[in-house]
Structure 1
Amino acid sequence: MRFVGGYHDFRIERGGLQVFPRLVAAAHRGSAPDGSLGSGVAALDALLGGGIERGTSTLLTGAPGTCKSTIAAQFAVMAARRGERAAMFPMPEDKLLSVQLHELLTFLGRCGTATLLVSVQRGLIGTHMDSPVDASYLADTVVLLRYFEAQGSVRSAISVLKKRSGQHERAIREFEIARTPSWRRSRTSCATRSRRCRTRCT
């Protein structure tokens, strides 16, 4: 008798029990296209070694307010502008997620999907910071965003800790998010003077 072992989600509803079988990536085969996806921000793409590759997973992790979701949305916006599909889903950060996260990322990789995970760290500034779910060992690329103090102000920095699919810059770059005066000016520009990356987005 064929069956799918392991833990499965279920829901009790009127009239019976609805079971959602867990995902088994090995049961799904697909052809993953090659190529990298850019963010539209030249300095950010350079930091990532040309962007993120199709069929890989990228973890954006850092303290609250360090623009993790903004950077993820930037990749989604650029994908939509290229005529490609992009979707964003909120997911709970608990230990139950890590049980099926490996299968989910493997399945999406087989489909050629570039996945971005956003994980918030507890704490703001310092060395004692952790995340509710540690997905750093699962993700192909890990991008760390953090705060630092300089010249009497709190600033933001971004760095790439690892990238399995290729080379990347080892530099720690300061960055800031700025808005254009009008929504009609929706192009993303970047200035890299003094290792500072300025992202202009709507």
Structure 2
Amino acid sequence: MKEKQLPLRISTGVAGLDEILSGGLIPNRSYLVRGGPGTGKTTLGLHFLEAGMRKDEKGLIISFNLGEKELRELMKGFNPDLQNFSVLDLSPNSRFFSEVESYEIFAPSEVERGPITKTIIERIEAEKPKRIAIDSISQLRYLASTSAQFHKQIRSFLYFLIEKGTTVLFTSEVSSTNPDDDMQFISDGIISLSNSPEGLRTLSPLKYLGSGFLSGLHNLKLSAVGMEVFPRLVPQNHARPFTLEALSSGVPALDEMLCGGLERGTITLISGPSGTGKTTLGMNFMKEAARRGERSVIFSFEEDPELIFHRADSINIPARVMVEKGTLSIQRIEPLQYTPGEFAYMVRKEVEEKNARIIMIDSTAGYRVSLQGEDPVSHLHAVCKYLQNMGVATILINEKEHLTGSFRITELGISYMADNIIFLDYIERYKGSIIELKKAVGILKKRMSGFDSSLHELEIGPNGIRISETLRNLKFIIAGLPSWQEPE
């Protein structure tokens, strides 16, 4: 049986949207882009034309909203060198108001009649564009005498354009008082854009004849340089083969506790109170990865890279040198600047384009409060499962909020997704009349192998991490008040 060939695709001009649409748009069809004011419809239309210009395809925008000058200014933000698209400016101007001019829409019987029709046909016949953007076709609705007439005219208009060998992207203004159901029926594909009161922008494909697509809500961002779309992360759609081998921490005692180290493709939760050395412990695995020539990435939600460099310098981790050699990247994630979809896309680029082998998210609490949107656990779950499928060792740093009280691994409820759990804590050491505050490390869970279940003293100094032999005479660990009474 012959393998079924997918139809030829052309780019929308937005890489993330092309991925959502299984490679782009099928040519010689019409596509509806619908949404309220300010959702990015015109911007997407310009990206569509820009993608054609990059392939020397002639593009035409028929504008009933913005004038030619405004459209060209918008395009300059995307790419100042691409200005050779054609504009048919049918937007009202000051002369329209002063002279009380009126538009005529297509005659009921034929698409070729009427002043606007004649102007459009003449331009298309003269320029023979391969791509046409119409912004916005909703304006024509107000000029038709009845809804039935409008539907018939628009259908004939789109058929005419398709017969001329063009691919059409047309926009529609959507509101509760102006539905666009009729245009949804006559289009070959529908892309819906929305903007929540909180400013969260999303894109959702609703229809695509003859093609599959990635359904659901996808985050998008608009800026002076145009539109970026971040496809919703579906972990099962991504996988690559890898060897399930243990990765050393470079600390022999810790590797022995872990029965060799942390395996590729596993998720490790390092949990403990502030200052116990969670990030430092995770960075030791990255230091060893750098010796193997592998790349690691820290997504820091709480600390600036310079603070991480300073701490690394003091504990014999050459983080600056690793960054210079490309074996480490430290990316500061500013609060409320990213959506979950955008962050997931950043992670994907590191893995798929730069072959990152270890990813650290520091910390889970920072992730929860820094990213826009709801339900951080489900988004974090998707990122971690994606990394697992791609054979990346994932390290989640979890800040234990309370020093005392009942023993809890995480307040976020994410321990279920961890293959390995390493916990750090403070312990009180009683030696006669002297009380000291020490650090301890233990392994609570390791899915791929056995592990040392005893607690060990942890020391962090100029030479790095040192782990002592098993701590004895400890009590009240689960109660949240670990103490160490040395025998007299």
Bucket of the pairwise TM-score, normalised by the shorter protein: 0.7 to 0.9
The share of aligned pairs that are identical, in percent, is 35
1:71–1:4 Cα change, 3 Å: same
Q: Secondary structure at the match of 2:414?
A: coil
Structure showing greater Rg: 2
Cα distance change on mapping 1:66 and 1:133 into 2, 3 Å: same
Task: Determine the structure 2 residue equivalent to 1:11.
Answer: 221
CA distance in 2, matches of 1:108, 1:125: 33
SS for the counterpart of 2:254 is helix
How much has 1:126 moved relative to structure 2?
3.4
Asked if the contact 2:457/2:469 (under 8 Å) is kept, the reply is no
* SS of the residue 1:165 aligns to: coil
Task: Report the CA distance between 1:194 and its aligned residue.
Answer: 5.6
Structure 1 equivalent of residue 261 of structure 2: 51
Higher relative contact order (CA 8 A, sep 6+): 1
Distance 1:22 1:42, change over 3 A: same
Alignment match of 1:175 (pick from 445, 453, 458): 458
Q: How big is each residue's C-alpha offset from its partner over 1:49-99, in whole Å with a ceiling of 9 and x where there is no partner?
A: 210001111000111011000001111111101211111112433164312
Question: CA offsets, 1:6-64, max 9 Å, x none?
Answer: 45333343587643121111111210222110001111111112100011110001110
Relative distance call for 1:193 and 1:132 in structure 2 (3 A) is: closer
Q: How does 1:1-202 map to 2 (within 5 A)?
A: 1=208, 2-14=212-224, 18-91=228-301, 92-94=366-368, 96-127=375-406, 131-151=410-430, 152-180=435-463, 190=466, 192-193=468-469, 195=471
Quick check: 26-35 or 112-121, which moved more?
26-35
AA matched with 1:36: A
Q: What secondary structure sits across from 2:285 in the alignment? A: helix
SS of corresponding position for 2:453:
coil
Quick one: structure 1 residues 128 and 49, their matched pair in 2 at CA, closer, same or farther if it must change by over 3 Å? closer
C-alpha deviation, 1:4, in angstroms: 2.9
SS of structure 2 residue aligned to 1:105: helix
TM-score (norm 2): 0.36
Q: Which residue of 2 aligns with 1:200?
A: none
d(CA) in 2 for partners of 1:130 and 1:139? Answer: 11
Residue aligned with 2:381, SS: helix
Shift of 1:195: 4.6
Once residues 81 and 11 of structure 1 are traced to their aligned partners in structure 2, the CA distance between those partners, rounded to angstroms, is 38
Residue 190 (structure 1) shift? 4.5
In the alignment, the residues of structure 1 paired with residue 460 and residue 289 of structure 2 have an alpha-carbon distance, to the nearest angstrom, of 20
Q: Cα distance 1:128–1:110, how it changes in 2: closer, same or farther (>3 A)?
A: closer
- Residue 46 of structure 1 aligns with an amino acid whose one-letter code is E
The amino acid of 2:281's aligned partner reads I
Would you say the 8 A contact 1:93–1:132 is kept in 2?
A: no
Name the SS of the counterpart of 1:88 in structure 2.
strand
TM-score in terms of structure 1 length: 0.82
Cα-Cα RMSD: 2.4
Residues 159 and 172 in structure 1, CA contact (< 8 A), matched pair in contact too: yes
Task: Report the Cα distance in structure 2 between the residues aligned to 1:192 and 1:136, rounded to whole angstroms.
Answer: 27
1:149-194 Cα shifts (integer Å, max 9, x gaps): 11201111111111111111111111111113xxxxxxx6746346
Structure 1 distance, partners of 2:460, 2:375, is: 34
Verify the 8 A CA contact 1:125 1:148 in the aligned structure 2. no
- Give unpaired runs (5+ residues) of structure 1: 181-187, 197-202
CA distance in 2, matches of 1:80, 1:42: 17
Structure 2 distance, partners of 1:16, 1:78, is 40
- Matches of 2:408 and 2:220, distance apart in 1: 34
Q: Counterpart of 2:290 in 1: which secondary structure? A: helix
Aligned-pair CA distance for 1:5: 3.9
Cα contact 2:458–2:465 (8 A) shared by 1: no
Is the CA contact (8 Å cut-off) linking 2:218 and 2:230 kept in structure 1? Answer: yes
Letter in 1 for 2:398: S
